[in-house]
A = this chain, B = another copy of it.
Amino acid sequence: MTRPPRDTGADGAPALDPQQLGAYFALMEAVSLLQHRVEQQLRAEGDISYVQFQLLARLADAPGQLTMTQLADGVVYSRSGLTYQAGLLETAGLITRVPSPDDERATLVTITEDGQALVGRVLPGHIDVVHRLLFAPLARDDLHHLGDIMTRVRDHMRAQPPRSAAPRKRNPGRDSPPPA
């Protein structure tokens, strides 16, 4: 941090230097490509989407029962999206949904044996793709750096309040809604 935090150009546009730009673009495109390939892989071997795989994998790792909200966390940005996917997975017989005895509102999701079997069937292929596309061109040090860097970035983003992007809010919480 020996330089000013913002390199604001003369025209008012804060410029990213070429190195930053390159890193940003490479990052976004690489992940996009990786995701696309992984999706093809999962579709071909298990006829599921990436989202569905993530949900099943999460359930397979978990003790056995998760609420919808817990399950959605980090996978999908809307609750309704999860409801949709859970409906598909339940119809396919890969998960079951039962109302929670403790909290009648909550729905507990459990992975079925078929679901576990499916995860077991597609996981090797998934890992293989990630290995070949992401890790193959990386040396041991690169891997370490990448993990370190992205972990820091992710945690930084998680901590960031979601409203930070808003340029100018008069008074947060005083939207003056004009009903009646």
What is the interface of chain A, defined by CB distance below 8 A to chain B? Answer: 6, 12-16, 19-20, 22-24, 26-31, 33-37, 40-41, 44-45, 74, 77, 120, 123-125, 127-138, 142-158, 160, 162, 164-167
Residues in chain B near residue A150, CB distance under 8 A: 23, 26-27, 30
Q: How many Å lie between the Cα of A47 and that of B166 in the bound state?
A: 13
CB of A24 within 8 A of CB of B125, answer no
Could you list some 18 contacts between A and B, CB below 8 A?
A13-B127, A14-B128, A22-B147, A24-B130, A26-B153, A28-B35, A29-B74, A30-B157, A31-B31, A34-B153, A34-B157, A40-B162, A132-B164, A133-B156, A138-B152, A142-B148, A145-B145, A145-B146
Shortest Cβ distance from residue A122 to the other chain B in the assembled complex, whole angstroms: 10
Copies in the complex: 2
Residues in chain B near residue A12, CB distance under 8 A: 124
A22 to B, closest residue via Cβ:
B147
CB of B137 within 8 A of CB of A26, answer no
Residues in chain B near residue A142, CB distance under 8 A: 145, 148-149, 152
Shortest Cβ distance from residue A162 to the other chain B in the assembled complex, whole angstroms: 8
Q: How many Å lie between the Cα of A53 and that of B34 in the bound state?
A: 22
Going nearest first, the 4 A-B pairs with the smallest beta carbon separation are: A23-B147, A26-B150, A30-B154, A137-B156
Q: How many Å lie between the Cα of A40 and that of B157 in the bound state?
A: 14
Which of A143, A146, A153, A162 gathers the greatest number of chain B CB atoms within 10 Å? A153
Q: How many Å lie between the Cα of A9 and that of B142 in the bound state?
A: 24
Residues in chain B near residue A74, CB distance under 8 A: 29
Residues in chain B near residue A35, CB distance under 8 A: 28
Shortest Cβ distance from residue A72 to the other chain B in the assembled complex, whole angstroms: 13
Q: How many Å lie between the Cα of A23 and that of B140 in the bound state?
A: 12
